[in-house]
Amino acid sequence: MQILTVVSLSGGQGKTTTSFFLGLTLASLGFKTLWIDGDPQHNLSLYGRSPHQNDEPTLLECITGQVQPTDAIYPTDWENLSLIPSDRALEQSQTHLANVTMGELLLKKRLKNLDFDYCIIDSPPQRSQLCVTCICAADKLIIPVETNSKGLACLQSTLETIDELSENMAWQGEILAIVPFRDTIRGLNRTKTSREAITYFEQLCQERDIAITPSIVDSEKYKQAIDRAEYLPTELNSPFNKLIELAGVV
């Protein structure tokens, strides 16, 4: 099983959107795919439409070891796509992760031996114990960032955190790609803010030899597709098609 964590250390950068459509894309190709909701805000769990009930196990109980991961996996409305959901209580995992030895590697260990082709972890926006364990579980990291000044600052702090974990040997995977989020086109042209941000991302990716995907354009259609549980039109799915190509899927 290949584990892909979607990480970006600021709110609203497109982590859940990327996790959602990447999961759908992999599952639609017939790969057995597992979504893990690593964010106490639990948006992926809401989008995922699983039959999970409030009193049933979630990611929290997997992390604390009260249940096996297989006991917290639920089907979703989509074929080949399952979910380990979360809720607000996931915040309680922070204390557990801080108090166990090698908490950063705990999720990676828990996910060993699961019978899926791909696992996609949606992570929380702050640099917390939970976020670090989501990063360290990954074989590959995907970093969505908004095409504006907040996105630039977020990319820098995200890369700093990843570099630090990599130097400490806590994480030894690779960065799969940066995904520009909410690329804003007005008329036929990209706005100055988006253009400047993307130029910066491209330079940085070239310097660091990191791939960059086509942008997720600023469009209500992504939100609509999530709300209606629909697939994206082909032209809007290109960032996710590129991600699976980079991951060696197709």
Ligand X SMILES: Nc1ncnc2c1ncn2[C@@H]1O[C@H](COP(=O)(O)OP(=O)(O)OP(=O)(O)O)[C@@H](O)[C@H]1O
For Mg ion, the binding residues (CB under 5 A) are: 15-16, 43
List, in order, residues 6 or more apart from 156 with CB less than 8 Å away: none
Could you tell me how far CA 113 lies from the centroid of its own chain?
Answer: 21
Residue 13 within binding range of ligand X, rule CB under 6 A:
yes
Residue 123 within binding range of ligand X, rule CB under 6 A:
no
Residue 125 within binding range of ligand X, rule CB under 6 A:
yes
| Residue 36: strand, helix, or coil | strand
In this complex, which beta carbon is closest to ligand X, that of residue 14 or of residue 173?
Answer: 14
The footprint of ligand X on residues 171-190 (CB under 6 A) is 182
Q: Which does 208 bind (CB under 5 to 8 A by kind): ligand X, Mg ion, none?
A: none
Q: Which does 147 bind (CB under 5 to 8 A by kind): Mg ion, ligand X, none?
A: none
DSSP, residue by residue, 156-214: HHHHHHHHHHHHTTS---EEEEEEEEEE-EETTEE-HHHHHHHHHHHHHHHHHT--BPP
Residue type, 247: A
Can you tell me which residue has the tokens 């991951």? 247
In this complex, which beta carbon is closest to ligand X, that of residue 111 or of residue 217?
Answer: 217
Interface residue with ligand X among 4, 7, 14, 136 (CB under 6 A) is: 14
The footprint of ligand X on residues 34-63 (CB under 6 A) is 39, 41, 43
Site size for ligand X, by CB under 6 A? 18
